[in-house]
Amino acid sequence: MFLNEPEGARLLAQLVADQLKRTGSSLALRVLAKLETQENLGACGPASAVSVLNALEFRAPRDPRYAATMPRNLSYPFWTQDAFVFSPCATRVLGPYVFGETLDGFSAVLSCIGLSTDVVHAAGVPTADAVRRIEGAINAGAAVVANFDRRVAHEVGGGHFSPLGGSVAGYFFVLDVARYRYQPVFVPHDAFVAAMATPDDDQADGKSRGFVVLARAS
C-alpha cells in the first residue's frame, strides 16, 4: 500500500514512532530526505547507493555541479549518481557494468568506498529470519538495500534495487528509487522475501537476489 492511502500513512507514522523509540532516530525519514530518483532505467543501483550514502553522511565528494562557481571550502559535499558511477571504486569493481550490476557487485563497490557490508542472498532464508536480520540491522543504525524481482512483489518490471526504510506490522517499507513510477510503498514480508529469493542470471554461482546491510565501518 502506498503513502497516499490512509493505511499507508498510518503505517508510516507507526514505523517512525517505533524507530524513534528504539534508537532515537528514524532511518525511514533519513533516507526519505535523501531519496534519489534513478537517472535512467538501469540506474536503480547507483540511485539506491547514493540515497544511503547521503543518509549516512558518509565521505561525500564535492561534485563539480555544485562547486563550479564557488570556492572549494564553500562548495557542498554530496553524493550524486554521477559521483558514484564514475568513482574509482565503481570503475575498478564493475567496469562497464555499473547499470544492471549484481547484488555482490553493488556490495563490493560500497565496501571499496569504505562502508561495512553484509550481503544476504535470500534463497532458502525463511521469511522470519530475513525480517529479523533486517530489523536488527536497522535498529543497530545500519541501512539496508534490497535487490528483488518486481514481478514477484506484484509490480511491473524485473530485477530492481531500492533502499528499505524499515519493517512494521508485517510489511517492509520500500523506498523505491523509480519515483517516476512508484512512490514509497509497504509490501508484505512474505511477498517481498519471495521477491528477494529469486534467481539473478548474472549473479555468480547461481546465487539469488537478496539484500545488503550497510553501515559505517567500526
Model-level pTM? 0.93
Flag whether 205 is in a domain: yes
What pLDDT, on a 0 to 100 scale, did the predictor assign at position 1? 85
| Residue 42 domain flag | yes
Asked if residue 1 is part of any domain, the answer here is no
Give the domain range for residue 117. Answer: 6-68+76-216
| Total count of domains within the chain | 1
β-bridge mates for residue 162, sequence order: 146
pLDDT, tens digit, 9 for 90 and up, residues 27-39: 999 999 999 999 9
**pLDDT tens per residue, range 108-150:** 999 999 999 999 999 999 999 999 999 999 999 999 999 999 8
What CATH number is given to the structural domain containing 209? 3.90.70.30
Here the cell at position 101 is: 550490476
Residue 71 confidence class, pLDDT cut points 50, 70, 90 = low
